[in-house]
Amino acid sequence: MSTLELKTVGDIIGCFRVPAYQRGYRWGEEEVKLLLVDIWKNGDQQYCLQPVVVKRQAGQLDNEFELIDGQQRLTTLYLIFLYMQNENLQNFNLPFSITYETRLHNTNYLTTLDPAQKDQNIDFFHIYRAYQCIKEWFDAHGNRRQYVANRFYGYLYEQVKVIWYEADHDIDSTTLFTRLNVGRIPLTNAELVKALLLARRILQPDDYRQIEIASQWDLIERDLHDEGFWAFLSNRPGQEFPTRIEFIFNIMAGIGQTKDRFYTFFYFKNELDQKSVREVWRRILELYYLLKDWYEDRDLYHKVGYLIATGKSLADLVNESKERTKSAFHCFLNNSIKEKLNLSEDNVRDLSYEKPDSCTRLLLLFNVETVRLLKNSSERYPFHAHKEQSWSLEHIHAQHTETLSKKEQWQEWLKQHLAGLDALKFDDQADENARKPLVKEIAESINEINQRSFSQLSKRIMGIFNATDTVDSIHSISNLALLSGEINSTLSNSVFQIKRLKVIALDRAGEYIPICTRRVFFKYYTNTSDQQVYLWSLQDRECYVNAMIELLKSYLNLNTNTEMQK
């Protein structure tokens, strides 16, 4: 069974063998000096170094270890001790030694540090330079060198610790070393906490308890790798958590903004110093089951999911749920969404592209609530699909082409709109008479298009697709919908009909299109049978905004002078 503990540097004893699969010592002056300065500046405060991973092998003496990870740190500490001994700054025997499985000359050089041999190989060079850096750092203190050495020596025995991880005999050393060092994948807080949980003894024997924890751990880890569950809980990519249960541990530890990489580990070590494994693991399970219940409850899934997606802390929501009944927690969520939105009905009608954050929060809630309130449906808003993409506000109908400045851009725009015009058949003969010659003219001039001819053609095309009542408020919320940035870039500068055809094609191809965006281009919100399917009229816009307000009215403020957020 792997064991884990905090060990002061002065308590590290024995012989550490660096195996053949590792490279030699490679720390430069920057790393060595940083270690010295950090220890010195930390003073009388507790200071923890990165883990040292070792393994005892069958047949070895008690204090003989294979050094799997931590060679650079341990070698530097050894050189610090060696310097103090060589300079008679402390009277002591070196607490540990380092040997090399295949580079025996390195073992000898660690004791001699002969400057004449420092350039014989790269290992000698780095070892010698590290020792000289240590010497220069202490010497820089001048007459206070002895005082600094005394204090520094005391820190190594009282304040400076390493996370001592002794791997189980059955673990393959090379595999573990490769995982820890290829791409520098470190030991995670989760792995360290797991070692704490499985190393403690609460029953005699406790094999059953350890097997149970290991089995439940695997179940939680499997569920957290479900992308739907993960996206519901977090806005961070799952790749940031090689062991995803660490996300739950961080919530329990209240990790906040701390820069201490092992804060969560130290939290659980302190907890396990005071409480039993059974009690600590029970609390972990309670939090996991709470989050799982939220995920499986349709209303909680959508409300909590929306708040998380818009920046609310999951840890805060967990804390708020502890002292509330289920109905009171629902009320709290509703109020939190209302505060997050911070809009009145008048604010919604006045909302524009100039306030992108408010627009995005409103449109996201419109989509989430639309799905949540679907009757007789098991459909859920796909937060995982939403978070996989970068979202932006899309103009439902564009009226300007000023951003197009290259011939290939003009040609592409004309090709798209030519296809849209070709598909149209107007009932009004005057409109039809205007359409046919325009189609012919575009086809004839597209290869030789220039800025002047494109400007003239685009205005005539816009004239056909613009209803007389749609020329104003292009940036109004009534003309905005949510789309992924990638899809948006393919639709920008196009009129409603062209975007409609593209959205239909993308939807058929399986691209994720938010439900309300689909409904916009399918004219779902327009309350009339006499609608022009190729136009986004003032009536369409009014119906669209009214649908938003009606669906979200419980989350809107009273019509007072509410100050909108950006």
Cis, peptide link before residue 437, omega less than 30° from 0: no
In terms of domains, do 54 and 69 share one? yes
- Range of lowest pLDDT (135-149, 246-260, 539-553): 246-260
In contact, 353 and 299? CB cutoff 8 Å: no
562, part of any domain: no
In terms of domains, do 484 and 414 share one? no
pLDDT at residue 260 in the model: 74
| Dist. CA 105–CA 83, nearest whole Å | 20
| Dist. CA 542–CA 546, nearest whole Å | 6
- pLDDT-derived band at 202 (thresholds 50, 70, 90) equals very low
Question: What is the per-residue DSSP string for 306-338?
Answer: HHHHTT--HHHHHHHHHTS-HHHHHHHHHHHHH
In terms of domains, do 389 and 538 share one? yes
In terms of domains, do 388 and 335 share one? no
In terms of domains, do 372 and 332 share one? no
> What is the phi-psi region of residue 5: left when phi exceeds 0, alpha when psi lies from -120 to 50, beta otherwise?
beta
Which among 139, 160, 187 is the end of a domain? 187
Residue 545 gets which letter from DSSP? Answer: H
- Range of lowest pLDDT (62-71, 155-164, 471-480): 471-480
Question: Measured in Å, how far apart are the chain's first and last C-alpha atoms?
Answer: 55
CA atoms within 13 A on the CB side of 83: 26
Q: Is 39 exposed, middle or buried (0-12, 13-18, 19+ CB in 10 A)?
A: buried
Calculate mean pLDDT across residues 358-368: 96
Helix (H, G, I), strand (E, B) or coil at 256: coil
In contact, 291 and 297? CB cutoff 8 Å: no
In degrees, rounded to 5, the angle at the alpha carbon of residue 451 between the alpha carbons of residues 450 and 453 is 65
- Picking from 10, 7, 6, 5, the residue whose alpha carbon sits closest to that of residue 152 is 10
Give me 427's structure tokens.
């009932």
- Picking from 289, 250, 268, 271, the residue whose alpha carbon sits closest to that of residue 195 is 268
In terms of domains, do 86 and 179 share one? yes
| Residue pLDDT, tens place only, 490-535 | 566 677 777 888 888 888 988 889 999 999 988 889 876 655 666 7
| Dist. CA 305–CA 320, nearest whole Å | 15
What is the model's pTM? 0.71
394, part of any domain: yes
Q: Which of 173-187, 350-364, 474-488, 523-537 has the highest mean pLDDT?
A: 350-364
In terms of domains, do 364 and 333 share one? no
426, part of any domain: yes
- Across 336-364, b (16+ Cβ under 10 Å) vs e yields bbeebbbbbbbbbbebbeebeebbbbbbb
Check pLDDT > 80 for residue 239.
Answer: yes
Which among 187, 212, 241 is the end of a domain? 187
| Dist. CA 206–CA 210, nearest whole Å | 6
465, part of any domain: no
pLDDT at residue 273 in the model: 86
In terms of domains, do 96 and 123 share one? yes
Give me 459's structure tokens.
């205005």
The amino acid that residue 98 corresponds to is I
**Cβ-based neighbour number of residue 300 at 10 Å:** 19
Q: Which of 375-379, 386-390, 470-474 has the highest mean pLDDT?
A: 375-379
Which among 154, 169, 187 is the end of a domain? 187
pLDDT at residue 468 in the model: 44
Cα distances (angstroms) measured from residue 29 to each of 126, 130, 404: 9, 6, 54
In contact, 193 and 268? CB cutoff 8 Å: yes
| Dist. CA 142–CA 246, nearest whole Å | 46
| Residue pLDDT, tens place only, 12-65 | 999 999 988 888 899 999 999 999 999 999 899 888 888 899 998 666 667 899
In terms of domains, do 527 and 429 share one? no
Check pLDDT > 90 for residue 231.
Answer: yes
pLDDT at residue 203 in the model: 39
In terms of domains, do 179 and 244 share one? no
pLDDT at residue 447 in the model: 83
**Is the model more confident about 312 or about 197?**
312
| Dist. CA 49–CA 9, nearest whole Å | 9
| Residue pLDDT, tens place only, 111-159 | 889 999 998 888 899 999 999 999 999 999 999 999 999 999 999 999 9
In terms of domains, do 417 and 367 share one? no
Domain carrying residue 482 = 345-399+471-555
| Residue pLDDT, tens place only, 22-35 | 888 999 999 999 99
Number of independent structural domains in the chain: 4
Calculate mean pLDDT across residues 213-230: 93
| Dist. CA 484–CA 511, nearest whole Å | 10
Check pLDDT > 50 for residue 201.
Answer: no
CA 309, 314, 319, 321 dihedral sign is positive
Check pLDDT > 70 for residue 207.
Answer: no
Check pLDDT > 60 for residue 467.
Answer: no
Check pLDDT > 60 for residue 563.
Answer: no
In terms of domains, do 144 and 221 share one? no
Return the percentage of the chain with pLDDT > 70, whole number: 83
Check pLDDT > 80 for residue 234.
Answer: yes
